[in-house]
A and B are shown apart, each in its own frame.
Chain A
């Protein structure tokens, strides 16, 4: 389990869990679950288009992911964000279907793009993902305070002169970058599950923002490690275990939260508590 090609699986899984845990913390905080689902899923169309005109699929993926992030952010200023995200997603999927109809070579790769194959990673694929992961983490560290304030208390953010639209654009581009490089390797499903379940569970356990982020990474790491080990033993897809374990974490978190609020006297919402803890 810890030799040969499996080493790469452990390495890539760890990188993806750290990046997914941190990015996902903000995804859950900002209520951007739909965007986090739409961007990596729709970006596959870019890969299909790239293979049609004969350029690198990664270039197509990146172009479509960043393009989708920009389109969603800009159109959301004048329309409902959930409607805009849904329409941008189906537009990209339809483009992908159109690209696919013009070629016959691409078909088996759809499956691997959606569900990924973390057990078949090569050394060459790890370095770019690690580099991009570091870039995303550094960008999030620089944006940490404005992101937190604009997510939790938008009025104060605007009163302080923070440009919430620019922050939103920057954040969605970070989501796009974080997902693009990982999608061909681990699949859109796995990265999405890691970005939602662990952070949502972590927020149930603590109301302090920094602690919740660390908890999110820890839960994501445990999830991916258990998933890789069980997938190795059973030969079933890794994405299945990640999806189900993430959901279980969320269930445990919600049970814990309702138990602890029943035990204590209710003291305002979790959001307000974490605001007072961070400001």
Chain B
């Protein structure tokens, strides 16, 4: 086993903290991610990391808690996207893009004000890329409590959420307030994404939100098993990535070590590609590509969807 676990791996405090925080955020992200993928909201899920980062840079400038900045910024952005967006998937992506552009502009302003007042250019990289190895032990309780809260909210709304994701018309006909369910989901996603952005960095936030969920939806047949498989994949990927990143500083020829985000994302990407291999799918027309809501990557969900798959 020595070739896999380099000396000092288990006795290193930063590694233990990283593994714990990484595992918690991976489970929360994967669960939110399953719904994000079913609802075709990957763009919003990714854009919220940037919006949360804007909140973080604002908090940094104003001198308030960064966690508050990340989550507050994410929630504000999610609300703006939901208000600006309309029902059709295409216009929703445009609304997301508008909010993203405005938020990134604000981030540019705050980072500019930061650098002119305190001359810390390194802050840009820290905020943008973050590192799982610099997580402080004190963030563990916050991450656990807020993560649990997100899971509880999802569990509470999961039936109306699933129905309004697969068939908004049917959900509306049954008296479900589709817009409100969508808004609650966006808020839950904003908290989850804000949390993971500050804990493990914005790259990993998107990767763990979308990757495990998309892979799980391709290889499972029901929502429950998708959520479980996505959670397991997310945690396994995170832990394997942390081990490889720790080991990589012992590798030749460079002793610099590679970032943990690189390994986790590479494993996630490879997993997604592999999950597509055994299935030969029909080429899909552009119309259904953009407008199908009911999971083409998901056999049973697809047949339950409004258009069904031929």
Contact = CB atoms under 8 A, between A and B. Distances in A.
Interface of A: 28, 30-31, 33-34, 36-37, 76-83, 85-87, 89-91, 93-95, 97-98, 100-102, 107-108, 110-111, 114-115, 150, 154-155, 157-158, 164-165, 168, 189, 192-193, 196-197, 200, 236-237, 239-244, 246-247, 250-251, 254
Interface stretch (B41-49, B153-161, B226-234): B41-49
Interface residues of B, number: 67
Q: A31, A107, A192, A237 — which one has the most chain B CB atoms within 10 A of its CB?
A: A31
Given A33-B96, A91-B265, A154-B285, A196 B101 contact: yes
B206 A85 contact: no
Interface in B87-131: 89-91, 93-94, 96-106, 108-109, 111-112, 121-122, 124-125, 128-129
Interface in B258-300: 258-259, 261-262, 264-266, 268-269, 272, 276, 281, 283-287, 289-290, 296-297
Nearest to A165: B283
B266 A250 contact: no
A158 to B, nearest CB: 6
B256 interface: yes
B254 interface: yes
Contacts of A237: 105, 108-109, 112
B262 A95 contact: yes
Interface stretch (B3-11, B18-26, B176-184, B207-215): B207-215
B124 A81 contact: no
Contacts of B304: none
A154 B286 contact: yes
A241 B112 CA distance: 13
B34 to A, nearest CB: 12
Contacts of B37: 80, 83
21 contacts: A31-B90, A31-B94, A33-B94, A81-B289, A82-B42, A82-B43, A93-B261, A94-B259, A100-B129, A101-B259, A154-B285, A155-B287, A157-B286, A168-B286, A197-B101, A239-B104, A240-B108, A243-B105, A247-B98, A247-B99, A247-B101
A237 B287 CA distance: 39
B210 A77 contact: no
A87 B101 contact: no
Contacts of A239: 104-105, 108
Given A82-B41, A165-B283, A244-B106, 5 more contacts: A34-B42, A236-B112, A237-B105, A239-B104, A247-B98
B101 A89 contact: no
Contacts of A86: 42-43, 45-46, 206, 210
Q: Across the A-B interface, give the 10 residue pairs with the lowest CB-CB distance, nearest first.
A: A243-B105, A31-B90, A193-B101, A94-B265, A33-B97, A82-B42, A247-B102, A34-B43, A98-B262, A196-B97
B242 interface: no
Given A33-B96, A33-B97, A240-B109, A97 B203 contact: yes
Contacts of B265: 90-91, 93-94
A260 B72 CA distance: 35
A244 B98 CA distance: 9
Given A33-B94, A81-B289, A82-B42, A91 B266 contact: yes
Contacts of A193: 101-102, 104-105
Contacts of A87: 207, 210-211, 214, 268-269, 272
Contacts of B40: 80, 82
